[in-house]
């Protein structure tokens, strides 16, 4: 099922859809943005998780057209929400390792922003920590070019890779996303609690915003609030939703 040919056909038949998960300002409960998350709606199998097909898309290179589709769809949708009169918000889009290594990424992002009319500061790209740290010189050059456009950069899955603190200080980034593997047990595991506290302090000392992902309980929310975490994302507030279901949340947010 998850072969190169099937992925190619899925792209042609428009079986990929984008869901959106709200990112909440901890101090106010407001929706500051959403993360775009791709879904494969297979005609007979049903919904297939990106965890299952992104690795194949990476290996075959199909992540390039799939990723460009997600980026264009997400920017188009964000512009549409703005034009419908919802308070403007940020759109966060995941960029895979293979996409990030493409010299054409900057041009692609520029084209998509121009074509959709979305202002750059409403777009955030998420690069995983492990991808960012692979070749720090390259990452630095690439992020400088992307940020020159006016978009922002978040380091995804933070804490699961091996960041040199020295590099973290030098890279032109805006935000750190604490990986959800640290959040699940913050209220019961003292080690996870101190790791999360330390990441928040570190981020703030470096003038970076910090968002916690995978927040599922009120207790986790209270902990993060007490530690001055800036934003959160997780099932406590909302799971990733199709665009039409998100309309209702945005209306309440108005
Ligand atoms: O949404 P879900 O938790 O099922 O996603 C599983 C994994 O797939 C996550 O690691 C997420 O970052 C990744 N993912 C989801 N959508 C995209 C996408 O559009 N591009 C890339 N590169 N990864 C994605
Ligand atoms: O790695 P990345 O941040 O892109 O992954 C986002 C993934 O996390 C999505 O697949 C989304 O479905 C999943 N996710 C979002 N919120 C929660 C949550 O509260 N709990 C769990 N277990 N997964 C979540
Ligand atoms: Mn992400
Ligand atoms: Na993540």
Q: Which domain holds residue 222?
A: 4-248
Q: Give the closest residue to 195 by CA, choosing from 186, 204, 203.
A: 186
Ligand 2 proximity of 157 Cβ (cutoff 6 Å): yes
Q: Is residue 254 part of a domain?
A: no
- Residue percentage of the chain with pLDDT more than 90: 90
Ion ligand 4, residues whose Cβ is below 5 A away:
156-157
Q: Is residue 139 part of a domain?
A: yes
Ligand 2 proximity of 214 Cβ (cutoff 6 Å): yes
Looking at residue 88, the DSSP 8-state letter turns out to be P
Q: Is residue 98 part of a domain?
A: yes
Q: What is the pLDDT of residues 3-22, one digit of tens each?
A: 889 999 999 999 999 999 99
Q: Is residue 253 part of a domain?
A: no
49 C-alpha to ligand 3 centroid (Å): 14
Q: Is residue 213 part of a domain?
A: yes
Total number of domains constituting the chain: 1
Helix (H, G, I), strand (E, B) or coil at 13: coil
Q: DSSP 3-state helix, strand, coil percentages of the chain (rounded to 5)?
A: 50, 25, 30
Q: Is residue 78 part of a domain?
A: yes
Q: What is the model's pLDDT at position 86? A: 95
Is 110 exposed, middle or buried (CB count within 10 Å of its CB: 0-12, 13-18, 19+)? Answer: middle
Please report, for the domain that includes residue 234, its CATH number. Answer: 3.20.20.450
Task: Over range 182-197, report the average pLDDT.
Answer: 96
Q: Is residue 87 part of a domain?
A: yes
Q: Is residue 230 part of a domain?
A: yes
Residue 254 has pLDDT above 70, yes or no: no
Q: What is the pLDDT of residues 39-93, one digit of tens each?
A: 999 999 999 999 999 999 999 999 999 999 999 999 999 999 999 999 999 999 9
20 dihedral zone (left: phi>0; alpha: psi -120 to 50; beta): beta
Q: Which atom of ligand 1 is nearest to the CA of 63?
A: 22
Q: What is the model's pLDDT at position 4? A: 86
pTM above the 0.90 mark?
yes
187 C-alpha to ligand 2 centroid (Å): 19
């Amino acid at each position: 099922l998850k072969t190169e040919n099937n992925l190619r056909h899925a792209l042609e038949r428009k079986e990929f859809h984008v869901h959106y998960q709200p990112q909440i300002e901890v101090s106010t409960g407001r929706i500051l943005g959403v993360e775009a998350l791709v879904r494969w709606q297979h005609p007979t199998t049903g919904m297939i998780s990106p965890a299952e097909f992104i690795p194949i898309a990476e290996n075959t290179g199909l992540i390039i057209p799939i990723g460009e589709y997600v980026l264009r769809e997400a920017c188009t949708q964000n512009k549409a929400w703005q034009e419908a009169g919802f308070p403007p918000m940020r759109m966060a889009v995941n960029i895979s390792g293979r996409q990030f290594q493409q010299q054409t990424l900057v041009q692609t992002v520029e084209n998509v922003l121009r074509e959709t009319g979305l202002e750059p500061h409403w777009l955030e790209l998420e690069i995983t920590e492990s991808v960012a740290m692979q070749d720090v010189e390259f990452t630095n050059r690439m992020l400088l070019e992307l940020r020159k456009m006016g978009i922002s950069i978040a380091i995804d899955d933070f804490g699961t890779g091996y960041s040199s603190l020295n590099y973290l200080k030098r890279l032109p980034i805006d935000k750190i996303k604490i990986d959800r593997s640290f959040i699940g047990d913050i209220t019961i595991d003292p080690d996870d609690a101190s790791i999360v506290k330390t990441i928040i302090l570190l981020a703030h000392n470096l003038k970076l915003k910090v968002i916690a992902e995978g927040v599922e309980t009120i207790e986790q929310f209270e902990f993060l609030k007490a530690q001055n975490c800036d934003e959160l994302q997780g099932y406590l507030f909302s799971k990733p939703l199709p665009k039409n279901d998100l309309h209702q949340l945005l209306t309440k947010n108005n």
